[in-house]
């Protein structure tokens, strides 16, 4: 499967012009492949999926066990073992 530089730019959150400039300056993320065919810039989908942490089938690639919290739950920013929003607040005074 393949796509174009405009789609890659959208995925990376940049303009097509910025993506073309990054391609010319060799500043695209490592592992991305861009093939020039005439004036067109063709981008294979597989390296994009790997960059996004997705497998060839579009399913999320699981993090290795080393990236798990000691209690066995996956680390997610902004959450605690009790869950988001369940953090104790300041002690109430009577």
Position 51 in a domain: yes
Write down the pLDDT at residue 11.
Answer: 93
Q: What is the pLDDT of residue 91?
A: 54
Domain membership flag for residue 32: yes
Position 47 in a domain: yes
Torsion (CA) 71, 73, 77, 78 in degrees, nearest 10: -70
pLDDT in tens, 42-93: 999 999 998 888 866 656 655 544 444 444 444 445 544 444 554 455 555 5
The domain total for the chain is 1
Q: Which residue matches tokens 């988001």? A: 84
Q: What is the pTM of this model?
A: 0.57
Q: Which two tokens stand for residue 59?
A: 């399913």
Q: Which domain, by its residues, includes 23?
A: 2-61
Residue 76 lies in a domain: no
Residue 29 lies in a domain: yes
Residue 83 lies in a domain: no
Q: Report yes or no on 67 lying in a domain.
A: no
In a domain, 80, yes or no: no
């Amino acid at each position: 499967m393949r796509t174009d530089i405009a789609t890659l730019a959208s995925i990376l959150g940049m303009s097509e012009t910025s993506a073309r400039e990054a391609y010319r300056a060799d500043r695209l993320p490592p592992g991305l492949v861009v093939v020039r065919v005439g004036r067109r810039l063709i981008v294979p989908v597989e390296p994009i999926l790997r960059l996004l942490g997705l497998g060839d089938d579009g399913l999320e690639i699981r993090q290795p066990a080393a990236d798990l919290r000691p209690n066995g739950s996956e680390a997610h920013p902004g959450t605690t073992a009790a869950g988001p929003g369940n953090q104790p607040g300041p002690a109430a005074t009577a």
